[in-house]
């Protein structure tokens, strides 16, 4: 009689328990980040740290599913009894805390809340996943300084480093197959006559080119709130472009009644005074495009942020220049930072442009920066 054979083996699913718990925790953290993203990206500690600091967000603790044994054998909500019929109310949840019923403090324990640490990288990955350069065209131009070799010919003489192994073997096989007196030794032999070498020609390397013209109002009417919101928008814009695109140039333009190009550090730190003439920065951007970035070879993306407090007599000229800017660009972003519910005269003027390449946004609250980024770069 055959004996029963018992095979013992480990439950390999247990070895993945830690990994599955870690992945579930990560998914929950990402879910909370998405819910609070509008507030997180304007966190001053993140902006001022230049992306080198982390922040903390509150989230519910994750409990493992388990059975709870009822030693007192009490009736609970959802259990029912023989006296109940369909449609009866089984019970109500009470005592969740003061304010839920207006009758004072609750008796039941609350949920465990803890703070999960969120790094700049976590925020960036989730934020940038929804952003891209819109209407990106394969604009190309030859970059002579970055010629690339193109192997397009095979010759009998050349450097051993460029030997074409496949063609050399084929030549050896053909030569031995055509020999009338075959050797008894059937091993493949390679002679100098069989060698074939790759040769190349240099061709200019073509790359997709894009330029971002970051334009910011630095006039005296831009208060602390307006400046902070503008810099926050451009802070994430610059990091998004540098993370996701290799060959993108960013030019920083500041203006009051006159426009000028500034360094990145000056763009994010310096303040100005004086009046506001938005047409000055549009004219400066058009001159820059004409001299350095021909639209036939570049994807152009001007983005302008202001408080909309423009000299009234300048609106018509700003409208004409903005039309020209939209015509040569892939997308133009215009954003206004307002503390009131009324639009500026400049915004009302620019709304006459019906071209969808002009994307208008208004920011009245800190958490609207996220929506503005998605509107311009989507």
Beta strands 332-337 and 113-118 are unpaired
Region of poorest pLDDT, from 52-56, 177-181, 227-231, 340-344: 52-56
Closest CA to 305 of 330, 332, 325, 331: 332
Q: What is the pTM of this model?
A: 0.61
Residues making up the chain, counted from first to last: 378
Retrieve residue 125's tokens.
Answer: 């990955």
> Which residue do the tokens 């999960």 mark?
116
Q: What is the pLDDT of residues 253-266, one digit of tens each?
A: 999 889 999 998 88
Region of poorest pLDDT, from 10-19, 98-107, 256-265: 98-107
Q: What is the pLDDT of residues 31-73, one digit of tens each?
A: 766 666 666 666 666 655 555 555 555 555 555 555 666 656 6
- Percent of the chain clearing pLDDT 90 (strictly above): 20
Q: What is the pLDDT of residues 272-287, one digit of tens each?
A: 777 888 999 999 999 9
Say which residue, 217 or 203, is predicted with more confidence: 217
Cα separations in angstroms, 30 against 24, 39, 282, 346? 10, 14, 40, 39
Q: Where are the alpha helices (DSSP H) in the chain?
A: 17-35, 37-40, 44-48, 120-128, 165-178, 224-244, 264-269, 279-292, 315-328, 345-350, 369-376
């Amino acid at each position: 009689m055959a004996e029963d054979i018992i095979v013992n083996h480990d439950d390999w699913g247990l070895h993945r328990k830690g990994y599955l718990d870690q992945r579930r925790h990560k998914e929950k953290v990402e879910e909370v980040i998405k819910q609070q993203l509008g507030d997180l990206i304007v966190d001053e500690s993140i902006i001022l740290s230049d992306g080198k600091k982390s922040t903390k967000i509150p989230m519910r603790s994750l409990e493992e599913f388990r059975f709870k044994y009822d030693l007192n054998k009490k009736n609970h909500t959802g259990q029912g009894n023989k006296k109940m019929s369909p449609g009866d109310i089984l019970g109500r949840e009470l005592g969740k805390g003061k304010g839920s019923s207006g009758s004072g403090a609750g008796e039941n324990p609350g949920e465990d809340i803890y703070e999960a640490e969120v790094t700049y990288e976590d925020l960036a990955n989730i934020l940038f996943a929804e952003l891209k350069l819109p209407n990106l065209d394969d604009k190309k131009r030859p970059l002579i300084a970055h010629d690339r070799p193109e192997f397009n010919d095979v010759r009998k003489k050349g450097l051993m480093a460029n030997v074409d192994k496949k063609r050399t073997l084929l030549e050896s096989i053909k030569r031995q197959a055509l020999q009338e007196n075959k050797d008894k030794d059937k091993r493949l032999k390679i002679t100098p006559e069989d060698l074939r070498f790759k040769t190349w020609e240099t061709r200019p390397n073509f790359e997709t080119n894009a330029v971002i013209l970051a334009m910011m109002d630095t006039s005296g009417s831009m208060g602390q709130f307006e400046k902070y919101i503008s810099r926050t928008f451009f802070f994430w814009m610059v990091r998004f472009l540098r993370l996701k695109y290799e060959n993108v140039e960013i030019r920083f333009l500041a203006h009051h009644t006159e426009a000028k190009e500034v360094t990145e550090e000056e763009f994010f730190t310096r303040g100005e005074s004086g009046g506001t003439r938005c047409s000055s920065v549009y004219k400066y951007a058009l001159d820059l495009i004409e001299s350095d970035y021909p639209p036939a070879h570049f994807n152009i993306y001007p983005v302008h942020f202001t408080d909309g407090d423009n000299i009234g007599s300048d609106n018509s000229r700003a409208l004409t220049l903005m039309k020209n800017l939209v015509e040569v660009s892939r997308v133009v972003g215009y954003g206004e930072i307002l503390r009131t519910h009324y639009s500026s005269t400049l915004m009302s003027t620019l709304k006459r442009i019906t071209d969808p390449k002009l994307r208008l946004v208004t920011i009245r609250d800190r958490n609207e920066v996220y929506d503005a980024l998605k509107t311009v770069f989507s």
